[in-house]
Structure 1
Amino acid sequence: MNAKNYSTIGLLSLLYLGLCQVTEGQVATKDTVTTARPLSFSDRNTDRPIAYGVQPAWKVTSAISSVSGNDLRKNLTTNLGNTLFGRLPGLTVGQSGGEPGNDSPSLRARGTNTYGTGRNVLVLVDGYESSYEQLVPDEIETVSLLKDASATAIYGLRGANGVLLITTKRGADSPLVVNFSTQQGFHTATRLPQFLGSYDYARLYNEGLKNDGKAPLYTDTDLDAYRTGSDPYFHPNVNWYDQVLRKTAPISTYNLNFKGGNSSVRYFVLLNAVMSNGLYKNTGDMVAESVNSQYSRVNFRSNVDINLTKRLSASLTLGGSVEDKSNPGGTTTGGIFNSLATLPPNAFPVYNANGTFGGTSALSNPLANLLQTGSYTSNGRTIQTNLRFTEQLDMLAPGLSVSAAVSFNNFFRSYSDKTKQYERYFATKGVAGDTLYTRFGQNTSLVGNEANSDQYRNIIFQGFLNYDRTIGRHSISALLMYNSDSYTNTTQGSNAIESLPFKHLGGGGRLTYTNSDKYIGEVSVGYMGSEAFPKGGRFGFFPAASVGWIASNEAFLKNNALVTYLKLRASYGLTGNDQIGSPNRYFYEQPYRYTAAYYLGTGNTQVNGLVEGVANPNVSWEKEKKLNVGVELTLAKRLDIGLDIFRQDRYDILAAPNSTVPQYIGTTLPQLNQGKVTNSGFEATVRYSSGPTTGTSASQLQYMVEASGWYAQNKIVYNSEAIRLYDYQYTTGQPIGQPFGLQALGLFRDQADIAASPRQIFAPVQPGDIKYKDQNGDGIIDQNDTRPIGNTSIPTLTLSLHSRLQYKGFDLEFLFQGVTGRTTYFGGTLFQAFQNNGQVGPIALNRWTPETAATATYPRLSASNNLNNFQFSDYWQRDGSFIKLRSLELGYTVASQLISRVKLSNARLFVNGTNLFSLDRMDGYADPEVIGGYPPLRTVSIGIRLQF
């Protein structure tokens, strides 16, 4: 029996156990099918997730934003990270492409805070670090982003980048509720690159040759054959995207969950399956040596809470997934897309006249690569478990409790790589008019490699002492905790196994005091150490404090009909980041990891050897001081306003001392904790709603409109960079990742313009070439003239518009996200015509010629690699701002009298769309988030949700 069969039996067993916990005779209760109303006046007493616990929302003085799992269901995607666009104020999600199973986004809280290696947020699932991207919205209660020091200091040297808390659903003291849902839809590419056909390619290539002073390659007869398509084998016109990709690819998802319990046992049990096909044609259906591009995953979860005695309770969390991925040709398909974007349309036909594959020695056939080079499949397994016991110690002190928890999390993925080669032929016409075929490559048998695998596993122990007591107008909540976690990343290849262990040890505490439900004070501390640092410097202390004032509970606002809620809060503290150099993170050890070549003897023989590096015995983690001031306001119980202003000062960032030690001393310098970055900005949310439904108003129009915006701008204060010739070349004072390049002044008008301009050394220039600005006034354009140009790829400002409307049984919900303050770059074969024997895109149609000199927006064409025109410069930069419709859903809830006969408590039909369109400055050439490679996906689906 294979692994899949074992997995299926395990999932069915979990569902059976969950059903066995249901008390006979329980009746399904109605649960709303629309998403919960966002946090507002009526939700102030609702518990909100915080570090290692929950607090009523009115008590929270930290900067925390949350979204419910029900809201995340509005985006149909295989990766949980890609449901978070625009959902959490302060969270920047970086799109990486749309390939199912290989679409992990980056997650950054309040922009970028360090130029070091570790920039992403710390992600915890139910309080423990674990793989999160395989989770599905149906098993998630909330996702919360902890942003300021009072929220993250307790995480010690791991909290500076922010913390993303994912809380899964649990049972309730209620009758059994069964939910079933399914969605059936299809993917399409948001945008695919557009290239010119063979006729335009050939005539523009001739023009480029002419501009280079060379004879044309294509005759008038060739051009006519390309234009008419009369000779498809010797004058092909191949759109390789059409040959390799299909227009749509199916996706489907199924979900079944059970929730309920009683005063003794509460449970939530889930089984979810998702299947998504890639955009490639089903090559596995065509030949036995290939496979179809597919991704499938089964998720299971069983969360159980048990009252063992009156004082002792236990909580068991068990979740996991089994995923399978297959691709023709390779583990990921970035190479295929690079080939599609490079191969000229007239290079060769897909198939020659005799049925063989077209190709040359240097250029392979993209379709044949999918059909004839083998396959790459993988199987991933994730398990997330934790067990927690809690004992109430009211006999010692009312409100006192102690708990202990252990968690084990494991992710393992194995790979099966089957490769082969194939024959391809280039056809030419012989003297007698016959066809001659030149063979390249050879047919081989499949060769398998089953040795590669990746594994992540951790084990975590935690202990807690909690105190929660209210005496009169005074309320005290206190927490002391101990944490020990160890985790290992293991990569196994054909010849070696690399295992990287990590260890953290420490604890923390939090004390919250409230007076008269008006005044709130909180102090939190973290104390944590890591084995990545030298003895005597492995542990750090991270304090934070916050205060809050609920002014609306004061007498002068107590019964105010306009200001129904007003809270002011502020926080300040110290946090840390220990992700400073993995995998070579033991900077305090003497390194010999560098290599050098020595040439010895009369034969000048090369001998490789090790080079001694310089250790840093005082290496430490990055530290950050965080200041946050916020206000929460509700007017007339309808209008909610939230505003946070923050400043974050990161210091002790690792940097080489290039400013004080010259490179000519001939040694590799150690990384020292001397870098500094400052980051500041704001987050604002405005929400207006129609209020709760009462009486007959439930049949009227109900609505909610929420607009959010968050801004973060960082600046490098110090990075010990080498001394520059000119001040404008320093990265100090610039944002992290600031592009440096040449400043373009347009195109040279004529030879006189060239003669009157500084000399550009990259290549001989002609009229129609790009003219650059001489920044230092030396009369020469070279790398000394590079300066800051444009913005980084990370937006400084993100905007979100979320709205929900409901009228009788109909509901409509949408989410727009917009970003600005970012720059994209028009590089590569899509924009650089004929470079590296590549294609030419429509952008080149508006090229410079003597006739179009006044209106041209593209430089003159060149059939060779033009070293002048394609220098990194602002000529090829574009405003990367965009507005995207991230989700749209239209649904109808069937009237209860129509479904009561089949014992349904709720039934809802809906149509759903994800990433439906984008408004941007890319002129239709590419998606503004992912310019090259596998494109982001647009998804349209229909679905049904049933509740019993």
Structure 2
Amino acid sequence: MTEKTNLFPNLIRFRETNRLKMAIAASIMLWCATPQQAAADTYEKHEIASVQQQKVKTTGTVLDQNGEAMIGVSVKVKDNATMGAITDLEGKFSIDAPKGATLEISYIGYKTVTVKAEGTALHITMKEDAEVLDEVVIVGYGSQKKVNVTGAVGMVNSEVLEARPVQNVSQALQGVVPGLNLSVGNSGGALDSSMSINIRGAGTIGDGSGSSPLILIDGIEGDLNSVNPNDIENVSVLKDAASASIYGARAAFGVILVTTKSGKSGKAKVSYNGNVRFSDALCVPEMMDSYQFALYFNRAAENAGDSGPFSQEALDRILAYQAGTLKETMTMNEQTRKWQAYGGANANTDWFKEFYNDWVPSQEHSLSISGGSEKTQYTISGSFLDQNGLLRHGSDNFQ
């Protein structure tokens, strides 16, 4: 038997070496990939667990200090307005919230209670907010604590009025008293115009000024806008018959009581309040250019069965005017020798920008001196207001 001789021993040894290297490299890659894959799987599991964190159903009962069930109490997740509930006739509630989330239980006239949502039944007792109930409100026969007032009374203190840079009391009261409606009267938006005021909607008896509330300034009937907002201590709005009955038929549409600031015994106190503000127009319509206006005007006329006032010649002329090749803003009718208002107009005027300023500055300065002794107190105040209007043409300032 003939012995086989290996003619390429180095080549065989080289191939075996390469196979060994490839096997080692594959083992290293497998060893490296295994912990990384395991870590990825662990992270994915944790991520899924975090995303799929179960919401626990938390139930509870809300009672007052006397053990009575409280109806209509707000229960919501803190900093999340979309998760909330309200207690029923028995004071019970049920809410689905993330485990460990903070629940806020609140009700008007009571202190807010915060608890953790753990999926267990809660028994909550709410305590009255003494600061709210002890607040003094002005009524027709003096002043009382809010807890003792049975009628509907809204109150605004001086801090709210002073924080609003407005020119009169009507503007200062907008949006701060529920049920108090203020609107621009027949004089429109003139700076010196007074607003129409009604409480809880329009009345069914009388019209015009007869349906407006009775306004008393320190007990004397007067104009609400005749008082400097910085001189007001508080404003009480008597909304129903129970709170305004002392004034009789004149208070059929409610009463607004204005109490001005009074001096206090002690050294003279000098107060200054000044502000500079900027105003701009709201909801200003955006106008089409003259070419778009002409197209839509023609389309409206065609929909009504008429022919449009802008001919193709007029449309071409408007385009030429916009391109700068035509300078005339209007063309004349050769037969009547009159300017043509529609078909002969080329101008591309934005009338809102023509009539209104983009913004205007205004300034207001108030100075008051108060003081006195135990028997006599005094308050002296004055103010300067320079309110600029938004109209570009004509006098539109108020001082």
Same fold flag (TM > 0.5)? yes
Kept in 1, the 8 Å contact 2:179–2:200? The answer is: yes
Equivalent of residue 131 in structure 2, options 30, 42, 54: 42
| Letter of the 2:203 counterpart | N
The answer for the alignment partner of 1:295 in structure 2 is: 398
C-alpha spacing 1:209/1:274, structure 2 compared with 1 (3 Å): same
The answer for the alignment partner of 2:190 in structure 1 is: 99
Cα distance in 2, alignment partners of residues 200 and 226 from structure 1: 10
Cα distance in 1, alignment partners of residues 171 and 231 from structure 2: 16
The answer for the alignment partner of 1:114 in structure 2 is: 204
Equivalent of residue 168 in structure 2, options 72, 79, 84: 79
| Letter of the 1:196 counterpart | M
Equivalent of residue 203 in structure 1, options 290, 295, 302: 295
| Letter of the 1:111 counterpart | G
Equivalent of residue 276 in structure 1, options 379, 387, 392: 387
Secondary structure (helix, strand or coil) at the match of 2:212 reads: coil
Secondary structure (helix, strand or coil) at the match of 2:398 reads: strand
Secondary structure (helix, strand or coil) at the match of 1:77 reads: coil
Secondary structure (helix, strand or coil) at the match of 1:49 reads: strand
Secondary structure (helix, strand or coil) at the match of 1:218 reads: coil
Gaps of 5+ in 1: 1-38, 284-291, 297-948
Report the CA distance between 1:49 and its aligned residue: 1.1
- Structure that is richer in helix per residue: 2
The answer for the alignment partner of 1:142 in structure 2 is: 234
Cα distance in 2, alignment partners of residues 59 and 270 from structure 1: 34
Kept in 1, the 8 Å contact 2:168–2:229? The answer is: no
Cα distance in 2, alignment partners of residues 219 and 85 from structure 1: 50
Report the CA distance between 1:142 and its aligned residue: 0.6
The answer for the alignment partner of 2:281 in structure 1 is: 189
Cα distance in 1, alignment partners of residues 249 and 228 from structure 2: 29
- Structure that is richer in strand per residue: 1
Report the CA distance between 1:115 and its aligned residue: 5.1
The answer for the alignment partner of 2:360 in structure 1 is: 249
The answer for the alignment partner of 1:55 in structure 2 is: 144
1:371-390 pair list within 5 angstroms: none
| Letter of the 1:109 counterpart | I
Kept in 2, the 8 Å contact 1:246–1:279? The answer is: yes
The answer for the alignment partner of 1:222 in structure 2 is: 314
Deviates more, 1:241-250 or 1:107-116: 107-116
Secondary structure (helix, strand or coil) at the match of 1:203 reads: helix
Kept in 1, the 8 Å contact 2:364–2:385? The answer is: yes
| Letter of the 2:377 counterpart | R
1:583-662 pair list within 5 angstroms: none
C-alpha spacing 1:200/1:130, structure 2 compared with 1 (3 Å): same
Kept in 2, the 8 Å contact 1:70–1:137? The answer is: no
Cα distance in 1, alignment partners of residues 133 and 308 from structure 2: 75
Secondary structure (helix, strand or coil) at the match of 2:300 reads: helix
Gaps of 5+ in 2: 1-127, 331-345
1:798-947 pair list within 5 angstroms: none
1:456-471 pair list within 5 angstroms: none
Report the CA distance between 1:44 and its aligned residue: 4.7
Cα distance in 2, alignment partners of residues 258 and 51 from structure 1: 29
Equivalent of residue 155 in structure 2, options 63, 66, 89: 66
Report the CA distance between 1:58 and its aligned residue: 4.0
Cα distance in 1, alignment partners of residues 181 and 366 from structure 2: 29
C-alpha spacing 1:95/1:213, structure 2 compared with 1 (3 Å): closer
C-alpha spacing 1:40/1:68, structure 2 compared with 1 (3 Å): farther
TM-score in terms of structure 2 length: 0.57
TM-score in terms of structure 1 length: 0.25
Kept in 2, the 8 Å contact 1:78–1:101? The answer is: no
1:528-547 pair list within 5 angstroms: none
Secondary structure (helix, strand or coil) at the match of 2:230 reads: helix
The answer for the alignment partner of 2:75 in structure 1 is: none
| Letter of the 1:110 counterpart | R
The answer for the alignment partner of 1:408 in structure 2 is: none
C-alpha spacing 1:112/1:83, structure 2 compared with 1 (3 Å): same
Cα distance in 1, alignment partners of residues 255 and 307 from structure 2: 62
Kept in 1, the 8 Å contact 2:355–2:393? The answer is: no
Secondary structure (helix, strand or coil) at the match of 2:291 reads: helix
Secondary structure (helix, strand or coil) at the match of 2:224 reads: coil
C-alpha spacing 1:51/1:209, structure 2 compared with 1 (3 Å): closer
Kept in 2, the 8 Å contact 1:52–1:127? The answer is: no
Task: Please report the RMSD computed on the Cα atoms of aligned residues, expressed in angstroms.
Answer: 2.4
Structure whose CA Rg is larger: 2
Secondary structure (helix, strand or coil) at the match of 1:78 reads: coil
Report the CA distance between 1:212 and its aligned residue: 4.2
The answer for the alignment partner of 2:377 in structure 1 is: 266
1:144-163 pair list within 5 angstroms: 144-163=236-255
Equivalent of residue 240 in structure 1, options 345, 351, 359: 351
Report the CA distance between 1:196 and its aligned residue: 2.2
Secondary structure (helix, strand or coil) at the match of 2:387 reads: strand
Cα-to-partner distance string for 1:240-262 (whole Å, 9 max, x where unaligned):
22222211122110011122222
Report the CA distance between 1:270 and its aligned residue: 0.9
The answer for the alignment partner of 1:130 in structure 2 is: 222
C-alpha spacing 1:265/1:115, structure 2 compared with 1 (3 Å): closer
C-alpha spacing 1:169/1:92, structure 2 compared with 1 (3 Å): same
Cα-to-partner distance string for 1:374-417 (whole Å, 9 max, x where unaligned):
xxxxxxxxxxxxxxxxxxxxxxxxxxxxxxxxxxxxxxxxxxxx
The answer for the alignment partner of 1:333 in structure 2 is: none
The answer for the alignment partner of 2:120 in structure 1 is: none
Cα distance in 2, alignment partners of residues 273 and 40 from structure 1: 40
Kept in 2, the 8 Å contact 1:253–1:273? The answer is: yes
The answer for the alignment partner of 1:169 in structure 2 is: 261
Kept in 2, the 8 Å contact 1:79–1:101? The answer is: no
Cα-to-partner distance string for 1:120-170 (whole Å, 9 max, x where unaligned):
211111111111213222100010011232321111111111101011110
- Percent sequence identity is 29
Report the CA distance between 1:189 and its aligned residue: 0.8
Cα distance in 1, alignment partners of residues 190 and 292 from structure 2: 31
C-alpha spacing 1:207/1:55, structure 2 compared with 1 (3 Å): closer
Count of paired positions:
249
Cα distance in 2, alignment partners of residues 150 and 213 from structure 1: 61
